[in-house]
Structure 1
Amino acid sequence: MSVPFKIPKMLKPEYDSMIRDNVISRIAFFGKDHPYIAPFLYVFDDKNLYFLSTRYGKKVELFSQNPAVSVEIEDVAPDMSTYRFVTLLGTLSEVTDDERKRAVKSHFVQLISDKKISEKSLYALGHSPTESLDKIIGEDRTMVWKLVDVKEIVALKNA
């Protein structure tokens, strides 16, 4: 009987680079009967992952009940000829320091601008696409979450 092939692991520099190059993650929250998964824009400061969340919705309810999450970031070719993904098991913590929140929100504005992300993405952040990006920084419509206490990282790639 042949031994099954295992998908190769990525080293930290590889998955850090992949995280830096992407902008969309999926966060799995503990639901009552089933996990609940939601997509999130994120920023990475080479050490920590940060997310913006509206102050309403199922994700906020589940976060308040249990902040333990699984975060997944992937980079997949349409034909799956190449793929990489990293899953981080940790805890979301709300950033409450005003100066830090402002810095993280500024990082999001820079990301949206630099990557030319559609203004329609602002709906997911509790803003209208017709509003200035500066309102993300200046108004308190979103919560800032930081991934902390990462217990496990699974980072895999094909060849």
Structure 2
Amino acid sequence: MPNMGKKEYDRLIREQYIARIVFKGEKYPYIAPFLYVFDEKYLYFLSTRYGKKIEYFTQNPYVTVEIERYDPDLSNYAFVSLSGQLVEVTNEVSKKEVREQFIRLIREKNLSENIMIALGHSSQDPTEAIVHEERNVIWKLTDVRKIIGLKNRTTTEG
């Protein structure tokens, strides 16, 4: 499979909004899907404050993140994996900015109100609750040491 260049995998990251994060589990790796936003430098994730992922993050914040795109018939597909460290965003101004990015993403992608459940809210809550009620934690992927981007088609980009 051909490698993707930086321009290609950055575009893939910009176009998608669901990633899978692989944590070091107890005996086996633990993988979970996350909504994310990308500011052209960092990936940010909203995590509920409960579940195995919190335990695994606390024990070992080093993870691999996978983002993919594929056609339903798999005639065209690409993925990127990024290995780095998750850190919790604690700065109040940064947290508000990132939460507002998530609200924009939910609106721009016209996501179902059920996404609010995955973020620790009720499906009846307005998206603004993401900013006004801190029911989740914001993680930022930093210290990325390894990036692998692969695709099934060769292009001249990237």
1:83, CA displacement in angstroms? Answer: 0.4
Equivalent of 2:104 in 97, 103, 110? 110
1:45, CA displacement in angstroms? Answer: 0.5
Q: Which runs of 5+ in 1 are unaligned?
A: 1-6
Partner Cα separation in structure 2 for residue 116 and residue 20 of structure 1: 16
**Does 1:52 find its partner at 2:46?**
yes
- After TM superposition, where is structure 1 displaced by more than 6 Å over at least 4 residues in a row? none
TM-score by length of 1: 0.95
2:57 aligned partner: 63
**Does 1:35 find its partner at 2:2?**
no
1:11 aligned partner: 5
TM-score by length of 2: 0.96
**Does 1:92 find its partner at 2:86?**
yes
Q: What pairs up with 1:66-145 in 2 under 5 angstroms? A: 66-145=60-139
Partner Cα separation in structure 1 for residue 122 and residue 107 of structure 2: 16
CA RMSD of aligned residues (A): 0.5
Quote the sequence identity (%): 54
Equivalent of 2:149 in 137, 155, 158? 155
Aligned residues: 153
1:4 aligned partner: none
Q: Aligned to 1:119, what secondary structure does the other structure show?
A: coil
Q: Match for 2:42: what amino acid?
A: N
Q: Aligned to 2:114, what secondary structure does the other structure show?
A: helix
Cα displacement string for residues 123-147 of structure 1 (whole angstroms, at most 9, x for unaligned residues): 1100111111111001111100000
1:88, CA displacement in angstroms? Answer: 0.2
Partner Cα separation in structure 1 for residue 92 and residue 54 of structure 2: 20
Higher gyration radius (CA): 1
